[in-house]
């Protein structure tokens, strides 16, 4: 058996499909965010670049209060957690973090996990599994971590068309009032930047006696008067049973969580293997995350400045005829529509313009909708925006990409039902 050959062939398949990924070697500069040093593969010395695709949406990963909380906790408690919570108990900063998170979402309790990905896997699978004969009703564009949770539950599932409440209602109606039903969806979809009709989904769930689970990963910290996400902004937090979020994007650190009623949190805590059998977050990470959550509860500055720079970026790109895909969120997707060209655009931006924007290709988005996904932060200045626009115009000319509006027919808004998107956004 030539074991190695199979791995080589697997890699070759990805390369043939232009799906092989290369990760840039970067040193993010905390004192000069969003600046970083790029170590190119050709061995030249490191070069300065501007990062335009970070999910550290508000720059909280470099906020002085967050860094200080991390430093102080590491000095006081050490570098690691010392074990699973089952074995070693819970470090106090993690207890404080969970209290901050429960309060953020107006829920009785919260439970932290080592990542958002793990929190979706653990919570969706455990909640569905503990209900008798549960049917999971899942949005067609849900993230990979939610799909893994659905699979792991072993429960029957059905997919509703993306953000389509009529389709959802049809399913709910056909299943009937008495069967256990869990509706799982995201509040803000990170590749198109579109937002779910959460209030309508919650009302339907109530009408047909279903439980609701929402992934607010791309919204926590960024929306709502205290950073509670789209549910807080839309005043529907209390109508959703389980809110899931990450500490690694808007909150700039690491970890994931759910917030819900005591009894739900206690059940997941007690039954989910991916919670029970893995070492807890280090106390320094918990303290840093709690500082970020707290800061974004009491301050509007980060959100306001980010929204302002997002609006300016969208307006400047549109004025320069760069095809920005419209949405009402902080995500700025620029349409390319071809995997190879998307990769080339990203390469030219980095090599010629010192601008880092990762290409977004299949399977993260549908084929024919490849794009550059731009995420302005409060720290991207007007000068950064002006250089970005110039650089993109240069790239568009070099590659012969069309200027102007996003070509309509190539955008696949609706996945045909019952299409299950296996690997979703990241
Ligand atoms: C990134 C992401 C996650 C996973 O969160 P991590 O903390 O990065 O593991 C979950 N859901 C969605 C929608 C995401 O985009």
Name the one residue in this structure whose structure tokens are 């977050």: 281
- pLDDT higher than 80, residue 150: yes
CB of 221 within 8 A of CB of 289?
A: no
Provide the CA 144 distance to its chain's centre, in angstroms: 11
pLDDT of residue 419: 39
Q: What is the DSSP letter of 322?
A: -
- β-pair type (242-246, 256-260): antiparallel
349 near 317, Cβ under 8 Å?
no
Quick check: helix, strand or coil at residue 394? helix
| Distance between Cα 216 and ligand 1 center (Å) | 9
Report which ligand 1 atom has the smallest distance to the Cα of 247. Answer: 7
- The H-assigned helical ranges of 179-229 are 198-207
Q: Which two tokens stand for residue 171?
A: 């399913």
pLDDT in tens, 9-54: 999 999 988 888 889 999 999 999 999 999 988 878 899 999 999 9
The pLDDT mean for the chain works out to 94
Q: What is the pLDDT of residue 409?
A: 53
CB of 190 within 6 A of ligand 1: the answer is yes
pLDDT over 90 percentage in the chain: 91
Which residue of 112, 184, 249, 423 sits with most ligand 1 atoms within 8 Å of its CB, as the best mutation to test the pocket?
Answer: 249
User: Average pLDDT of 273-284?
Assistant: 97
pLDDT of 272 strictly over 50: yes
CB 241 within 8 A of CB 213: yes
Question: Which residue minimizes the CA distance to atom 14 of ligand 1?
Answer: 426
**Is the pLDDT score of 200 beyond 80?**
yes
pLDDT at 322 (0 to 100): 98
* Residue 424 CB less than 6 A away from ligand 1: no
Shortest-distance atom of ligand 1 to CA 190: 15
Long-range contacts of 384-390 (CB under 8 A, 24+ apart): 384/34, 384/50, 385/309, 385/312, 385/313, 385/316, 386/316, 387/50, 387/353, 387/355, 388/50, 388/52, 388/313, 388/316, 388/317, 388/355, 389/316, 389/317, 389/320, 389/322
What is the per-residue pLDDT for 415?
Answer: 45
Q: Which atom of ligand 1 is nearest to the CA of 120?
A: 10
pLDDT digits (tens, 9 = 90+) for 249-264: 999 999 999 999 999 9
Least confident segment among 128-142, 148-162, 226-240, 354-368: 354-368
- Report pLDDT for 418: 42
> Residue range 80-95: average pLDDT?
96
C-alpha of residue 222 to centroid of ligand 1, in Å: 15
Ligand 1 pocket test: which of 138, 140, 143 has the largest number of ligand atoms within 8 Å of its C-beta? 143
User: Is residue 143 in contact with ligand 1, taking CB distance under 6 Å?
Assistant: yes
Residues 6+ apart with CB under 8 A from 418: 158, 159
Question: What is the pLDDT averaged over residues 267-293?
Answer: 98
Which of 8-22, 48-62, 182-196, 386-400 has the weakest average pLDDT? Answer: 8-22
Cis amide leading into 418 (omega within 30): yes
Query: What is the pLDDT, as a whole number, of residue 423?
Result: 39
| pLDDT tens, position by position, 331-382 | 999 999 999 999 999 999 999 999 999 999 988 999 999 999 999 999 999 9
Distance 426 CA to ligand 1 centre (A): 6
For the whole model, what pTM was predicted? 0.95
Mean pLDDT across the stretch 210-227? 98
DSSP letter for 252, please. -
Mean pLDDT on 156-160: 98
Residue 413 has pLDDT above 70, yes or no: no
- Is 416's pLDDT higher than 50? no
What is the C-alpha to C-alpha distance for residues 365 and 334, in angstroms, rounded to an integer? Answer: 13
CA angle 23, 373, 366 (to 5 degrees): 90
Give the per-residue pLDDT at 22.
87
Q: At residue 412, does pLDDT exceed 60?
A: no
Whether the CB of 91 sits within 6 Å of ligand 1: no
Whether 215 lines ligand 1, by a CB cut-off of 6 Å, is yes
Q: How far is the CA of 42 from the centre of ligand 1 (A)?
A: 32
Place of tokens 């909640």: 127
Per-residue pLDDT at 108 exceeds 60: yes
List residues with catalytic annotation: 249
**CA torsion, points 264, 270, 276, 279, in degrees to nearest 10?**
70
Cα(103) to centroid(ligand 1), Å = 21
Tell me the pLDDT tens digit for each residue of 286-324: 999 999 999 999 999 999 999 999 999 999 999 999 999
If DSSP codes are grouped into helix, strand and coil, which group holds residue 35?
Answer: strand
């Amino acid at each position: 058996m030539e074991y190695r050959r199979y791995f080589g062939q697997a890699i070759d398949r990805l390369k043939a499909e232009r799906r092989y990924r290369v990760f840039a070697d970067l040193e993010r500069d905390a004192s000069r965010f969003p600046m970083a040093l790029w170590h190119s593969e050709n061995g030249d010395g490191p070069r300065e670049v501007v990062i335009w695709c970070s999910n550290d949406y508000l720059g909280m990963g470099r906020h002085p209060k967050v860094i200080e909380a991390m430093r102080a906790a590491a000095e006081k408690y050490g570098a690691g957690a010392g074990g699973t919570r089952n074995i070693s108990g819970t470090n106090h900063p993690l207890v404080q973090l969970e209290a901050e998170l429960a309060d953020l979402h107006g829920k009785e309790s919260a439970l932290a996990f080592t990542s958002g990905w793990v929190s979706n896997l653990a919570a969706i699978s455990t909640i569905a599994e503990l209900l008798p004969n549960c049917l999971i009703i899942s949005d067609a564009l849900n993230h990979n971590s939610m799909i893994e949770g659905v699979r792991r539950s072993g429960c029957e599932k059905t997919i509703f068309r993306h953000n389509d409440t009529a389709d959802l209602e049809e399913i709910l109606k056909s299943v009937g009032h008495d069967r256990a039903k869990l509706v799982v969806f995201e509040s803000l979809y990170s590749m198109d930047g579109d937002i779910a009709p959460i209030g309508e989904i919650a009302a339907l769930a109530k009408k047909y006696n279903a439980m609701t689970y929402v992934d607010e990963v791309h919204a926590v910290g960024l929306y709502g008067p205290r950073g509670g996400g789209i549910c807080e902004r839309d005043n529907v937090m209390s109508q959703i049973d389980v809110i899931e979020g990450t500490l690694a994007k808007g909150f700039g650190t690491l970890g994931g969580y759910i917030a819900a009623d005591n009894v739900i949190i206690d059940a997941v805590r007690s039954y989910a293997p991916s919670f029970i059998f893995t070492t807890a977050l280090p106390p320094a990470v918990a303290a840093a995350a709690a500082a970020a959550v707290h800061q974004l509860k009491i301050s509007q500055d980060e959100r306001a400045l980010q929204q302002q720079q997002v609006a300016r970026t969208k307006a400047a790109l549109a004025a320069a005829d760069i095809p920005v895909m419209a949405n009402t969120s902080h995500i700025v997707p620029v349409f390319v529509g071809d995997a190879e060209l998307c990769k080339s655009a990203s390469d030219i931006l980095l090599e010629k313009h010192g601008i880092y924007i990762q290409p977004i290709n299949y399977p993260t988005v549908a084929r024919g909708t490849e794009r550059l996904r731009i995420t302005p932060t409060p720290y991207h200045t007007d000068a950064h925006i002006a250089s970005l626009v110039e650089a993109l115009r240069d790239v568009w000319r070099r590659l012969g990409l069309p200027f102007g509006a996003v070509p309509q027919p190539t955008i696949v808004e609706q996945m045909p039902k019952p299409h299950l998107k296996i690997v979703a956004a990241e």
